[in-house]
Amino acid sequence: MSGDIVRRIHVDEQGMSTAEYAVGTVAAVGFGGILVKLLTSPEVQELLFAIIQKALTWLFG
């Protein structure tokens, strides 16, 4: 009887790890999409360009 319970718990844990990977993958894709959207917006591109330009000016005068 206790062996059946252990088998059920073990099977459930295998499915749970697959679900966790799926949730992690969906979250990573969502974060990547937001990052791409932000980095392709003109405002963020101008801000990044200004930061890089200031850094290069500071380094090389």
Q: Is the pLDDT of residue 37 over 60?
A: yes
Per-residue confidence band for 18, with pLDDT thresholds at 50, 70 and 90 = confident
Go through 36-56 and write b for each residue having 16 or more CB atoms within 10 A of its CB, e for each that does not: eeeeeeeeeeeeeeeeeeeee
The region that residue 3 occupies, defined by phi over 0 for left and psi between -120 and 50 for alpha, beta otherwise, is: alpha
Give the DSSP per-residue string, 39-51.
HTSHHHHHHHHHH
pLDDT of residue 61: 79
Helix segments in the chain, DSSP class H: 2-39, 42-60
